[in-house]
């Protein structure tokens, strides 16, 4: 008992890995620790996007088992296989697509004059910020939290039906005509609950991005409704939700 009490003291004082962040409980606002745990035979919901760069581009079927964690997930595979390119228009025709920074260089030099430069510049900056941020978060995980699932290889899970409807609406999947399906899965493996708010790193200094990565992997959640669940392991499809499932109204606010 004394050893357990001593371990609890060090855990509460120093957190996980080499991070020196000190946890606390704030009663007047919202604060909680995310969870990192192993699960077996528990049901969650998962949104499967049917896109070309996904290993599950074909619809999942009831009874199908998927092992998660052996390769890059569709989100990170987008960074691996699809770069940020922009059309080079000459003589009213698109002659080629060029990398984003080169595109902006030609704009600066007056070679091209895109119709919506502000939009193009914002899209490129957002792409680069997400790209760099994901690499920093993964580097921190590998060095300090290797026991947690990787954002590069994981899938995202949702704990209940209301949450699944919320994320379908938030991602605009129906409105934008995205090909997808929602499935109820039974999982066995490891998961981590954290706050997605730390993922917004913009053009912050590198040391600040590293700090936010540590807070993400520590599972610190200071804003209600920002939790996300990432998972590695095996999931078995128990039910494919019908289209009528998406049309139902979700509960107000985030899950």
Q: Is the pLDDT of residue 180 over 80?
A: yes
Q: CB neighbours of 15 closer than 8 A, spacing ≥ 6?
A: 21, 22, 23, 218
User: Tokens 């004394």 belong to which residue?
Assistant: 2
**Band of residue 249 on the pLDDT scale cut at 50, 70, 90:** low
Q: What is the pLDDT of residue 253?
A: 45
40 φ, ψ to 5°? Answer: -145, 125
**Mean pLDDT computed over 47-71:** 87
- What would the two tokens of residue 36 be? 């990192």
**Mean pLDDT computed over 106-110:** 93
- Reported as a single tens digit per residue, the pLDDT across 1-44 is 333 333 332 233 333 333 333 333 333 344 444 556 788 889 99
Contact yes or no for 149/230 (Cβ under 8 A): yes
Task: Give CA–CA dist 210/56, Å, rounded.
Answer: 32
Question: CA end-to-end span of the chain, whole Å?
Answer: 37
- Reported as a single tens digit per residue, the pLDDT across 226-238 is 889 999 999 999 9
**What single-letter DSSP state applies at residue 55?**
T
- What would the two tokens of residue 205 be? 């200094």
- Reported as a single tens digit per residue, the pLDDT across 132-151 is 999 999 999 999 999 999 99
Q: Name the residue among 192, 152, 148 with its Cα closest to residue 72.
A: 152
- Per the model's pLDDT, the better-predicted residue between 231 and 73 turns out to be 231
């Amino acid at each position: 008992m004394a050893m357990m009490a001593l371990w609890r003291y060090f855990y509460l004082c120093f957190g996980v890995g080499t991070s020196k962040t000190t946890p606390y409980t704030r009663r007047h606002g919202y604060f909680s620790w995310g969870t990192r745990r192993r699960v077996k035979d528990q049901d969650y919901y998962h949104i499967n996007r049917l896109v070309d760069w996904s290993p599950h581009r074909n619809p999942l079927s009831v009874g199908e088992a998927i092992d998660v964690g052996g390769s890059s997930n569709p989100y990170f595979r987008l960074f691996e296989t699809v770069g940020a390119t922009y059309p080079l228009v000459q003589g009213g025709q698109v002659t080629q697509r060029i990398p984003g920074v080169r595109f902006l260089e030609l704009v600066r030099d007056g070679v091209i004059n895109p119709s919506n430069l502000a939009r193009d510049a914002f899209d490129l900056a957002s792409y680069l910020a997400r790209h760099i941020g994901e690499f920093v978060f993964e580097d921190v995980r590998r060095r300090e939290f290797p026991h947690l699932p990787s954002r590069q290889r994981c899938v995202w899970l949702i704990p209940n039906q209301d949450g699944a409807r919320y994320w379908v609406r938030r991602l605009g999947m129906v409105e934008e005509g995205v090909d997808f399906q929602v499935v109820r899965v039974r999982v066995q493996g490891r998961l981590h609950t954290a706050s997605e708010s730390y993922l917004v790193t913009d053009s912050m200094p590198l040391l600040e991005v590293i700090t936010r990565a540590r807070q993400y992997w520590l599972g610190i959640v200071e804003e209600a409704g920002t939790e996300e669940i990432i998972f590695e392991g095996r999931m078995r499809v128990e039910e494919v939700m019908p289209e009528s499932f998406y049309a139902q109204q979700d509960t107000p606010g985030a899950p």
